[in-house]
Structure 1
Amino acid sequence: MEQKTVTQMIKGNFSALSSGQKKVAEFLLEHLDEGSLLTAFQIGRKVGVSETTVIRLAYALGFSGYSEMQETIRREWLTHVQPGKSEGKPSSRDGFEENQLFHQIIEKESQVLNQLLNQLEIDQIWQVVDELHQSKQIFIAGFGSSYAAAYWLYYALKQMRENVVLSSPTGFLPEEICELDEQSTVIMFSYPRYRRESLKLANYANNQKATLIAITDRQLSPIGQLAQLTLTTEEHLESSHHSIASVIGLLEVIISGMNKRNTQNSHVRQKKLEQLYSEQNIFLE
């Protein structure tokens, strides 16, 4: 059986630890490098607990003492700084290439985010922000894989204003869109492979004179061509990869803009929501 890491041990036992032991455990998870080198006394002083509390954490996690826990921390830390040299795994070329796969994915995501930064049109972002503040109602649509980003925006906007509606992942109902008019905004997420439902909704929104905002991969995507405002996340990127990270990054920019122009109404709404969350004891922390 594969030996558990200190991280796994802490997670599995965290709820049973004392408050002081939890402080030490959180410190060790965030500072494996220091945990692999410092004495129990030094860690206790950094965290603000006694040396005894640090040693008792080792016992609570199933170690024979602090030295054994520190040795396990040291091995775990080394696997972080020297990926591909973890115990029990051959240091073969195939193993190295497999580990490199994850680095390549992160690098690709970084390229997409950098591209997003370079192509942002600030004036257009502010136009979207103002539209979302001023609209009578907002209908957010994302079908298939685009639904995840649509739901993220829906949840964020519901914290800030009323009259926000979300499509289902598979389509929309006539009852959901029958009241769209020139005071409404439709936000459409559309990425390859483009769904026919997106085109139907976009045409209906334009016929009702609603403002159509497209969040898509390129200006000339099927929905991008129809929208009054089109925000793209991967324009000019030479890749068939479509990143959810870039879409969420763009939405973070929009929400930050809305917070910057926070109206009194949204401030009052957020205050009411926080009161409800507290009364209903919804969150753990």
Structure 2
Amino acid sequence: MDNEKQDLMRIIQVKFPRLSKGQKLIAEYILKHYDKAAFMTAAKLGTSVGVSESTVVRFANELGYSGYPTLQKALQELIKNKLTTVQRIELSNDFISEENALKGVLKSDMENIRATLEKINHKTFEDVVKSIFEAKTIYIIGLRSSTALAEFLGFYLNIILDNVKVVGYGISDIFEQMLNVSEEDLVIGIGFPRYANRTIEALTFAQSRSAKVVAITDSLLSPLAAQADFTLIAQSNMASFVDSLVAPLSVINALIIAVGLREKEKISTIFTNLEGIWEEYNVYTYKSKDDR
């Protein structure tokens, strides 16, 4: 049990004698089922315990939080990196059913993007764009579910800049692919709960070589952020067996576009050439003249 969890649980235990009868029921439920409580609304938690929603809000205030959302966020921060896939499936059943899966997931993704827009530091974003142009070589690493994000970012940046290397599992080890990383280079690490240990190790290795490190992750408390010079926050809160990568992908899209806007003429030339290649080698299906 980590120190943060101990601190939160300790607060509940210390304040327990002074809590009202209803608040004690909430406290007991959280102590036993904090993993489930973290993803319940105040109304849902109240129903599960048998108290009113207002009692849940007063309970959060009694613990020193400004409101229930703040307490809920604290609980989520504690457990999100510890949830197994099975636990995520069980928790998702509490707020997403077969009947409302589409609506529930889309609303969750919209909330993730909204929260990302509020949390992300615009100056840091500009510093990252600047660092991309200053780097001799750009290494991008994202493993497990973040592999798709790393490949996407690497594909488009390499079209624009031609000095990008996506690091991933293959014949060679991660560190062999980063053997020549130096202080002239930039390493971009992408990772979300549950964080891949190898990504964290790669960023630590990059730091040891004095390379500049950027983390694209969900929180400044993320282990990736601890190894980074710059951290771009993209919220990915979703208690299900599928990681929500919508907000992270939006941030990555913004990075690609920001880089592209500084290389407009080069991009125009590149894509003019690509269009010719795509048409010559039938890369895409085009409508016949009869269909136009």
Same fold per superposition (TM over 0.5): yes
Tell me the alpha carbon deviations over residues 203-241 of structure 1, each in whole angstroms, 9 at most, x when there is no partner.
Answer: 111111111110111112111011001111128x6x656
The answer to whether structure 1 residue 149 and structure 2 residue 146 are counterparts is no
Residue matched to 1:176: 177
Distance across 1 between alignment mates of 2:178 and 2:272: 29
Query: Per-residue deviation at 1:267?
Result: 4.7
Identify if the C-alpha distance between structure 1 residues 173 and 101 changes in structure 2 by more than 3 Å, giving closer, same or farther.
Answer: closer
Residue matched to 2:109: 109
Query: Per-residue deviation at 1:264?
Result: 4.9
Residue matched to 1:160: 160
| TM-score normalised to structure 2 length | 0.58
Distance across 2 between alignment mates of 1:259 and 1:250: 14
Aligned ranges for residues 135-284 of structure 1 at < 5 Å? 135-169=135-169, 172-234=173-235, 240=239, 242-262=243-263, 264-284=265-285
2:175–2:202 CA contact under 8 A, matched in 1: no
Identify if the C-alpha distance between structure 1 residues 177 and 121 changes in structure 2 by more than 3 Å, giving closer, same or farther.
Answer: same
Letter of the aligned partner of 2:151 in structure 1? Y
Query: Per-residue deviation at 1:169?
Result: 4.6
Q: Secondary structure at the match of 1:225?
A: helix
1:160–1:270 CA contact under 8 A, matched in 2: no
1:187–1:215 CA contact under 8 A, matched in 2: yes
Structure 1 runs of 4+ off > 6 angstroms?
none
Gaps of at least 5 residues in structure 2 are: 1-96, 287-292
Letter of the aligned partner of 1:210 in structure 2? A
| TM-score normalised to structure 1 length | 0.59
Distance across 2 between alignment mates of 1:145 and 1:186: 19
Query: Per-residue deviation at 1:131?
Result: 1.6
Letter of the aligned partner of 2:128 in structure 1? V
Identify if the C-alpha distance between structure 1 residues 276 and 172 changes in structure 2 by more than 3 Å, giving closer, same or farther.
Answer: farther
Query: Per-residue deviation at 1:140?
Result: 0.8
Give the RMSD, CA atoms, in angstroms: 2.5
2:109–2:244 CA contact under 8 A, matched in 1: yes
Distance across 1 between alignment mates of 2:130 and 2:228: 16
Identify if the C-alpha distance between structure 1 residues 179 and 223 changes in structure 2 by more than 3 Å, giving closer, same or farther.
Answer: same
Distance across 1 between alignment mates of 2:121 and 2:219: 14
Distance across 2 between alignment mates of 1:224 and 1:258: 22
1:161–1:265 CA contact under 8 A, matched in 2: no
Report how many residues are paired: 188
Distance across 2 between alignment mates of 1:273 and 1:158: 14
Distance across 1 between alignment mates of 2:177 and 2:121: 31
Distance across 1 between alignment mates of 2:136 and 2:109: 36
Residue matched to 2:133: 133
Residue matched to 1:124: 124
Distance across 1 between alignment mates of 2:137 and 2:189: 14
Query: Per-residue deviation at 1:125?
Result: 1.2
Gaps of at least 5 residues in structure 1 are: 1-96
Letter of the aligned partner of 2:248 in structure 1? V
Residue matched to 2:99: 99
Query: Per-residue deviation at 1:176?
Result: 1.6
